[in-house]
Amino acid sequence: MGLFDFTSDIGRALFQKEEDAPKKIKAHIEEDNPGVSDLMVAFNKGIVTLSGKAGSSEAVEKAILMAGNIKGVSKIINKLTGALPLGKGVKYYEIKSGDTLWAVAKEFYGDGNKYTKIVEANKEVIKNADKIFPGQKIRIPE
């Protein structure tokens, strides 16, 4: 599963009807805007298309993760412009059953105390460090 593929039956339930999805997903991303302007969201059978202008590759990554970690979303098509290539200096991790951010930080950094670095890098995706869920995707900065 790559950055653009998600598990559609997990995550925060933002919409009941498919026709409500674009508006709800757009509002969700804009609520904690990671650095995207002129955001447009399309939704069709679980596939979200994001377009607009991103100020950085980090902004693109965060917008993708914010949209993808919504229940009912299975894939993201990225049409955001103005950003550097994705993935430089960052890894992605899918939360597994039993994971804690402490354990994830220990795995990636060798020190569980560095979980706050993960929380900070995912503040738009992780609202509460104690409430992560299996299938959720997060960024792991170097």
pLDDT digits (tens, 9 = 90+) for 14-51: 999 999 999 999 999 999 988 999 999 999 999 999 99
Residues 6+ apart with CB under 8 A from 93: 104, 108, 137, 138, 139, 140
**Cα-to-chain-centroid distance, residue 37:** 17
Cβ–Cβ < 8 Å for 80, 38: no
125/64 Cα distance (integer angstroms)? 10
139/125 Cα distance (integer angstroms)? 9
Whether residues 75 and 99 share a domain: the answer is no
- Domain count within the chain: 2
Domain of 115 in residue numbering reads as 90-141
Give the pLDDT band (50/70/90) at residue 71. Answer: very high
Q: For residue 73, is pLDDT > 90?
A: yes
Whether residues 72 and 101 share a domain: the answer is no
Mean pLDDT of 84-104: 86
pTM of the model: 0.87
